[in-house]
Structure 1
Amino acid sequence: MTDASHSQADETQLAEPHLGAVLASAGLDAEYVRAEGNTLYQRAEDGREIPVLDYAGGYGSLMWGHNHPTIVAYAKELLDAGVPVHSQFSLHPEAAELALALSRIVRRESGYDEPYFAVFANTGAEANEAAVKHAEMDRVIRLGALLAAVDDGLTEAREAVRDGSAIIPDEVFARVGMGSRVSDTAALNELVHHITTHNAAQAGRPPVFLTPEGSFHGKLVSTVQLTHNEGYRNPFKALAAQARFVPLGQPGALRKIADEERAQLLGLEVVDGLVRLTEHEAPVVCAFVLEPIQGEGGIREMPREFVEEIHEVCAELGAPVIVDEIQSGMGRTGDFLAGTRLGLRGDYYTLAKSLGGGLAKISVLMVRSSRYQGQFELIHSSTFAKDGFSNRIALKVLELLEADDGAAYRRAAELGDRLLAMLGSVRDDYPDVVKDVRGRGLLLGLEFHDQSGAPAAPVAEAARAGLFGYLVAGHLLRGHRLRTFPTASAPDTLRFEPSLLLSDDEISWLETALRDTCDIIRGGYQRPLALPGA
């Protein structure tokens, strides 16, 4: 053995060891050696493969399951053909084809006649980061145009007063707090200085993003500020544009917050020989960002009334609506976009996860043409974005989704109804354990009641520590060979995001596991949850 090998053997775990310890403490430190469909396989000590039913589904990335044979065969074909991956700063016909296909589907579902331009990336967080950057670039451009128009008005007023073709009424001075003045060049200069100072302060206000409480949009520098969970956000709070989180279920709360963020620029115009004061709303709110169904927030669907209020307020502000369909989109809820049935119409959409068919790492930002800033393409890029392999895999995924007049969407809705009915029966039989089941299609959640007073001490302790969902997930894995996790910001809610390949037997498997778990939590079984050391 070489010195280097000795050194490596002596080293402790260096690949995220803290995370590994957390997984071990919850009984989730599993290693998988193979995957197909809804099944992952562990290797037993005697070499046997142990199947594990995967309801986590790559956090929504596996609409077609693990290693779908059609997608795998096509991937092999592409690799055998030597499709280029690294051909940056050149033409990509397959990217143009993918953008066109996505635009057609998004237009169909959103109801907008305009095409949507595509900016490709690798992950959902990157797509959201691109959306945030594009929205801010657009805001700065709109603000610059407004300031230029205001400056033109000031110049016109100055020239009119100087040549005697206009005077400044007392009310103009009074409205800016200057008291009475004689309308002359000196007074005009003072007035203009007052206005420009005011405008500079208003135009210099930092951008604000609006997003619902419970939101999760990634963990990059900008996107983490749109993630409601303080544990993810607060350590980096000073690094990027801030968000205002809008409470759900409170009509009028959005409008109140939007009003608090309004900023007015002042200007001058000449009308019939008089200089008049004008007011212009400056864009401070950069965008409203939301998930139609919150994934990490506990699988919570946006109320229709809230969606309507978002549209109204954003139209008044001139701010775009950014719809994050990264976890909920790609047919998972029975429509290509989960927002379709809510009447949600986005100026921007972000897609990822299942867009890659479980193999490729690809995401995309779609921007409505009337909102699109072409120069964004020159100042935002990604080394691995828009490669020939990923784009072609995504095209194959769209082909599968749209085949047979959207049979995949109907299948997702049907399976979701059956799975939701089963979860509902568990809730009905264990109302003291299960608080709620919710979601749509193959994006479902089961929320437990607070178990901090549970009869079993380990259960109560985990609940008080905010780890109850992970305790349950560990039991499901070790006791029932079933894999799922709680949602990141609502750890009492388990997620269920299986693929279109879900079978009746797999639904029954989950039901058996959940009923056993509820019995143990309730105290009906005198045995512990199946955890390390138990």
Structure 2
Amino acid sequence: MNNSVSNWNHVLMNNYGTPPLELVSGSGAIVVDAAGRSHIDLLAGIAVNALGHAHPAIIEAVTAQVSTLGHVSNLFASSPVVDAAASLVAKVGDDSTRVFFCNSGAEANEAAFKLARLTKRSRILAAVDGFHGRTMGSLAMTGQPAKRKPFEPLPGGVEFYPYGDIDYLTSLVAVNPAETAAIILEPIQGETGVIPAPEGFLRAVRELCDEHGILMIVDEVQTGVGRTGDFFAYQHEGIVPDVITMAKGLGGGIPIGATLARGRAAELFAPGAHGTTFGGNPVACAAANAVLGIIDDEFCAEVTRKGAQFAELVSEIPGVSEVRGRGLMLGVVLDEPIAKAAVAGGFDHGLILNAPAADVIRLTPPLIISDAEIAIAADALKNLLTELHSQESSS
């Protein structure tokens, strides 16, 4: 065992458990561990490394910025933060959009929670099994009791609806529409097993929110920045939310989050209402600008194509019952609950995998993964699952 893994528990808290191996370098969609083994990275730091590892555009942008101006706090302006915000406003396509930069998806959702509070309405409706972060406000909107219970009492006013059930959600709003501040949802629930919303659900939520003056908050932390083949996953249904939360792929590996609000939602924060010391850091925004300069419509079309190719190859593997998701955010549903064993066994097959559920392998590779790497990864996954099924049969 290498030193970083063996020393982990001596210096770090036990909230993650002990990592299975140490990664020491990466290039594109490939990472190398401390033993010198190469792996195709099908997790990308949990959908973070959108442009892969050591992308030259990010290296150049971050190096130039940190060599010039590293941090100024939010008391001063700098061009990287204004440029990044302007690019995001353009991506939304509504000039009333305003941006709040922070450092993570949880912080972005925390800001969205506070925006909802400023409507002076008391209710926030969130989806069962949804995941929005681990800070107290974002956790309050997370529909997973096991994550919530140890930290109760959480901020109040949050009620839960079955994900994708517009009839139930409509009836829940009807209990007290005048006090319903916001409805929050993910276009695809990533942490529950890559579960897309039913077709038409986002459009129906948009109509419901319009009818009652409710803020529609869409959590694009994992699905955004081209991950699903559109820059924002909500674009698949042709709607625009009132509030959009982002992080993960936005910085291509450099920590940054953002809360975008448009229309009346953009006017809720006043000076002093919210802030964060590192939000809008010039180096993080320089990285975001590099990412935003590359992930355009043509790039997203390639994500769609590669995602379809990957899904087709994986769906043909024995033991795979379904491949769901969009673009390069795929959930490989297995016939047997062996996903965690697949993650552990993947290291010996040159794969970095993730198991959000007992019978689901999540594939969120760098968006720049090549066709050849997709083919190699699918073949390796086939060999891995064949091996695991063989072990199951013999036991």
CA–CA distance in 2 between the matches of 1:11 and 1:210? 39
Q: Provide the rounded CA distance (Å) in 2 between the counterparts of 1:500 and 1:245.
A: 33
1: CA distance, partners of 2:74 / 2:95: 28
Alignment correspondent of 1:392: 286
1:519–1:525 contact (8 Å) kept in structure 2: no
TM-score computed with the length of structure 2 as normaliser: 0.91
SS at match of 1:19: coil
CA distance in 2, matches of 1:527, 1:476: 20
Unaligned runs of 5+ in 1: 1-8, 24-28, 108-112, 144-206, 263-281, 452-462, 529-534
Deviations 1:171-217 (A, max 9, x none): xxxxxxxxxxxxxxxxxxxxxxxxxxxxxxxxxxxx22212222111
Within 5 A, what are the aligned runs for 1:267-282? 282=178
For 2:37, give the aligned amino acid: I
The question of 1:106 aligning with 2:21 is answered no
Does the alignment pair 1:15 with 2:12? yes
Secondary structure at 1:214 match in 2: coil
Residues 285-340 of structure 1: per-residue CA shift (max 9 Å, x gap)? 22111111111121111123322321222123211001111111101111111110
1:87 Cα offset (Å): 3.6
* Counterpart position of 2:77: 91
Q: 1:430-469 alignment to 2 at 5 Å?
A: 430=318, 433-449=319-335, 451=336, 463=337, 468-469=338-339
SS at match of 2:147: helix
Written as runs of structure 1 = structure 2, the 5 A alignment for 1:473-492 is 473-477=343-347, 479-487=348-356, 490-492=357-359
- For residues 78 and 251 of structure 1, the distance between their equivalents in structure 2, rounded to whole angstroms, comes to 46
Q: Of the candidates 21, 28, 37, which is equivalent to residue 28 of structure 2?
A: 37
Q: CA deviation at 1:484?
A: 1.1
Say whether the 8 Å CA contact 2:116–2:124 is kept in structure 1: no
Distance 2:7 2:370 in 1: 46
State the partner residue of 2:100: 119
| Map 1:259-408 → 2, pairs under 5 A | 259-262=174-177, 282=178, 284-358=179-253, 360-373=254-267, 375-402=269-296, 406-408=297-299
Instruction: Tell me which residue corresponds to 1:417.
Output: 308
User: What stretches of structure 2 of length at least 5 have no aligned partner?
Assistant: 1-5
Aligned residues: 390
Distance 1:519 1:93 in 2: 53
Corresponding residue number in structure 2 for 1:247: 162
CA contact (8 A) 1:355 1:394 kept: yes
Q: 8 Å contact 1:120–1:385 — kept in the other structure?
A: yes
Structure 2: how far apart are the matches of 1:234 and 1:50? 40
- 1:500 shift after superposition: 2.8
The match for 2:149 among 234, 240, 249 is 234
SS in 2 for 1:364: strand
Report the CA distance shift for 1:134/1:520 in structure 2 as closer, same or farther (over 3 A): same
Match for residue 504 of structure 1?
A: 371
What is the aligned partner in structure 1 of residue 360 from structure 2?
493
* SS of residue matched to 2:109: helix
SS in 2 for 1:420: helix
Determine the C-alpha separation between the residues in 2 that align with 1:389 and 1:37: 21
- What's the C-alpha RMSD, in Å, of the aligned pairs? 2.3
CA spacing shift, 1:33–1:247, aligned 2, 3 Å: same
For residues 511 and 10 of structure 1, the distance between their equivalents in structure 2, rounded to whole angstroms, comes to 34
2:3 is matched with: none
Task: Read off the aligned partner of 2:238 and give its amino acid letter.
Answer: G
Matched residue SS, 1:523: helix
Find the aligned partners of 2:181 and 2:312 in 1 and give their Cα distance: 41
Following TM superposition, by how much is the alpha carbon of 1:224 offset from its aligned partner in structure 2, in angstroms?
0.9
Change (3 A) 1:226 1:334: same
What SS does the corresponding residue of 2:126 show, helix, strand or coil?
strand
1:65 matches 2:52 = yes
What secondary structure sits across from 1:445 in the alignment? strand
1:249 Cα offset (Å): 5.1
Aligned residue number for residue 201 of structure 1: none
Q: Which amino acid aligns with 1:83?
A: L
1:471 aligns with 2:366: no
- Residues 1:485 and 1:95: Cα distance change in structure 2 (over 3 Å): same
Name the counterpart of 2:115.
Answer: 134
CA distance in 2, matches of 1:285, 1:486: 35
TM-superposed CA distance for 1:83, in Å, is 1.2
Deviation string, structure 1 residues 214-262 (Cα, Å, up to 9, x no partner): 2111111011122122111122231213432222454511111112244
Secondary structure, counterpart of 1:312 in structure 2: helix
Closer, same or farther: CA 515–375 of 1 in aligned 2, 3 Å: closer
- Report the TM-score, using the length of structure 1 for normalisation: 0.69
Q: Quote the Cα distance in structure 2 between the aligned partners of 1:305 and 1:521.
A: 38
The aligned amino acid for 1:511 is A
